[in-house]
């Protein structure tokens, strides 16, 4: 639910800036600018400055849109991994790597796991192999 709101926000905000900047530029270059130049209210060529500013605004909108979208996608993937890549999943997928409670890394075979909290309101911890950096599985944080 929160992700949908974030998506709408990124689309509306980034898309709004793109439309605003691009339409403003087009208007200045092809409609308002030539009209003002014909009526000799402005020097020829002076309208390129606001047109460039408009293009800049559109560019900022595009960067925000793509950057925001990428962040949301990354978060979505993480949320999916939290649900899928649990210890149970690891046990089911790599039963041969777990012996007497000792867990081995599927990437390099290392047997020393480390745990780190992911923060940023994810409420999950990552169990990873310090030897090769591979994430093995996730577990929810205990809220006690
Ligand atoms: Zn490893």
Q: pLDDT tens digits, the chain, 144 residues: what are they?
A: 688 999 999 999 999 999 999 999 999 999 999 999 899 888 888 889 999 999 999 999 999 999 999 999 998 999 999 999 999 999 999 999 998 889 999 999 999 999 999 877 788 999 999 999 999 999 998 764
50, 80, 110 - which closes a domain: 80
- Alpha carbon distance 52, 25 (integer Å): 7
The total domain count for the chain is 2
Ligand 1 center to residue 131 CA distance, Å?
Answer: 5
80, 98, 114 - which closes a domain: 80
Ligand 1 center to residue 129 CA distance, Å?
Answer: 5
- Alpha carbon distance 79, 63 (integer Å): 24
Ligand 1 center to residue 103 CA distance, Å?
Answer: 11
Are both 57 and 93 inside the same structural domain? no
Range of the domain at 94: 87-140
Are both 134 and 92 inside the same structural domain? yes
Cβ(89)–Cβ(82) under 8 Å? no
Ligand 1 center to residue 77 CA distance, Å?
Answer: 21
Ligand 1 center to residue 128 CA distance, Å?
Answer: 8
Is the pTM above the cut of 0.75? no
Q: For the segment 5-46, what is each residue's pLDDT rounded down to a tens digit?
A: 999 999 999 999 999 999 999 999 999 999 998 998 888 888
């Amino acid at each position: 639910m929160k992700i949908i709101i974030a998506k709408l926000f990124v689309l509306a905000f980034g898309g709004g800036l793109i439309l605003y900047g691009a339409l403003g530029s087009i208007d200045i270059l092809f409609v308002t600018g030539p009209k003002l130049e014909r009526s000799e209210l402005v020097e020829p060529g002076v309208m390129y400055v606001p047109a460039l500013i408009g293009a800049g605004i559109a560019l900022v909108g595009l960067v925000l849109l793509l950057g925001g979208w990428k962040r949301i996608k990354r978060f979505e993937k993480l949320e999916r991994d939290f649900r899928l890549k649990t210890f149970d999943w690891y046990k089911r997928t790599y039963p041969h790597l777990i012996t007497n409670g000792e867990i081995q890394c599927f990437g390099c075979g290392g047997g020393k796991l480390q745990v780190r909290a992911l923060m940023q309101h994810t409420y999950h911890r990552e169990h990873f192999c310090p030897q090769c950096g591979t994430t093995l599985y996730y577990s929810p944080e205990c809220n006690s």
